[in-house]
Amino acid sequence: MKKVSFAVAAMVVTGLGLASASAADLPKKYVKAPVVEAFNPWDLAFGAAVMSDYVFRGVTQTNHGPGVTAYFEPRYNFTKDLQAYVGTSFENVSFANRAAGEVDIYGGIRPTFGALAFDFGVWGYLYPGGQCANGTAGISAGSCSANGSNIYIFNGNVLKKDVSFYEAYAKATWNVNDNLAIGGNYFYSPNFLNFGFDSSYASITAKWITPNFMPWGIGSYVSGEYGHQWLGTTDSFYGNVTLKDYNTWNVGVGFTKSVFTLDLRYSGTDMSKGDCNALTSDWKTTQTGYVTPANSSGYGSNWCGDTFIAKLGFDLTAASNLK
């Protein structure tokens, strides 16, 4: 009888042990699966900035006065390596034709292959609200007769009512490592600033994010760009003159904290004051004797000269900052 009891007890203990072992062998069957968030391909970027001078390829757009800008950019991520986007931005300007401002509309795609990132798209620069500017007082004859009301400019410069244009562009950035990025850009316009000629701009860029040595979690970087603007021969409105190509550059430092960036930058060109006057139709330039093949008047402009730019702005994305 005792032998039978011991045998039954042994079987019970052994069975419990086997049951425990079987449960331990199948842990996944009894562990709750982790919650996986659904992938949302949509994103939105937006931001704004104030700056001491709005400079475009070495040329001030605000008569060396302060500028403001804001942008809004919806994005769609087909995959983590392919993004499509459209956007718009707004800036103030100070042109001879008294345009109300600059409205940019753009769109494109951004494919990425490992450390190499590309950006292909089209960018439109619109300048609404302008009037035809003519350097001859009290008349509407000549080019301005077909371009709206006439604004008189004392120095003889002229500017069309509408100087809007668009460009196709291709950009490439090689992220050498987490701190260094090197890039190249190319822009092409079939009618640059409505001058009547096609034009190209190409540049190389570099940005180095410095090691974290600033207090309070402030980041910093050093960046620069060197570019060349190809111009051409204008239409009859501007007298069929050939505008001179020029080089431009900028270099600066930036400081970042959260979504805010303070950028301090030096910008310049190799353009003479006379050629700058022919390009910009500067409404306030005076007689300086800067006569060039494209600028027989001798008036010279400092709109293309060296300048310092301080810019403070913020940039947000819905995916990263508005969760």
292: Cα within 13 Å, side-chain hemisphere? 20
Q: Report the phi/psi class of residue 156: left, alpha or beta, with left for phi > 0 and alpha for psi in -120 to 50.
A: left
Shortest CA distance to 221 belongs to which of 205, 241, 232? 205
pLDDT value of position 287 = 85
Residues paired with 259 in a beta bridge:
none
Contact 188, 167 (CB under 8 A): yes
Task: For 162-221, write each residue's pLDDT tens digit.
Answer: 999 999 999 999 999 999 999 999 999 999 999 999 999 999 999 999 998 888 889 999
- Using DSSP's 3-state secondary structure scheme, residue 101 falls into coil
pLDDT value of position 301 = 95
**Fold topology of 43-321:** Porin (2.40.160)
Q: How confident is the model at residue 289 (pLDDT cuts 50, 70, 90)?
A: confident
Q: What is the DSSP string of 236-267?
A: GGGTS-BPPPEEEEEEEEEEEETTEEEEEEEE
pTM of the model: 0.85
**Average pLDDT value for residue range 94-119:** 97
How many other C-beta atoms are found inside a 10 Å radius of the C-beta of residue 197? 18
Burial (0-12, 13-18, 19+ Cβ within 10 Å), 136: middle
pLDDT value of position 152 = 80
Task: For 206-265, write each residue's pLDDT tens digit.
Answer: 999 999 888 888 999 999 999 999 999 999 989 999 999 999 999 999 999 999 999 999
Shortest CA distance to 205 belongs to which of 228, 188, 181? 181
Contact 149, 131 (CB under 8 A): yes
| Percent of the chain whose predicted confidence (pLDDT) is above 90 | 70
Contact 268, 320 (CB under 8 A): no
pLDDT value of position 213 = 82
Task: For 60-85, write each residue's pLDDT tens digit.
Answer: 999 999 999 999 999 999 999 999 99
